[in-house]
Copies of this chain bind each other. A is one copy, B any other.
Amino acid sequence: MFFAIDPSNGLAIYDQIVRQVMFAVASEALRPGDLVPSVRDMSRRLAVNPNTVARAYRDLLAQGVVATVRGTGMEITPQAPQRCREARLRMIRERLAAVLLEASRSQLDTGDIRGMVEKELAKLERHKRG
């Protein structure tokens, strides 16, 4: 499990943590019963204030993705995989829809847009392989 924070992401740090944990659950890198890294551990790994991690974990708690086990840590709940898979798709779809809407409003036709998408996908493929 690798987590990485990009401070110039626009997204708040705690939100990046939330999303990455949910994505890790959705992709089964984290499974129900697994312990999430402790607040202190995670804060060291990400070079981030422990309160920021705690804030992220509180959000995950509220969403029922993790549950606290007193004195032990926080573990992935049984309902987490389903919720995270749904949430992952929803989050990506929302961002994608917003971008495509803007592109369409800016008079790009669907051909132009498809072209940009393909170009960016190709770039990603190169990165993966490279």
Contact = CB atoms under 8 A, between A and B. Distances in A.
A48 to B, nearest CB: 9
Interface string A47-91: 001000000000000100000001100000000000000001000
Interface of A: 6-7, 9-10, 13, 19-20, 23, 26-27, 49, 62, 70-71, 88, 92-93, 95-108, 110, 113-114, 116-117, 120-121, 123-125, 128
23 contacts: A6-B98, A9-B98, A10-B95, A19-B102, A23-B102, A27-B107, A49-B71, A88-B106, A92-B103, A92-B116, A93-B116, A95-B98, A95-B99, A95-B102, A96-B120, A97-B123, A100-B117, A100-B121, A100-B124, A110-B124, A110-B125, A114-B117, A114-B121
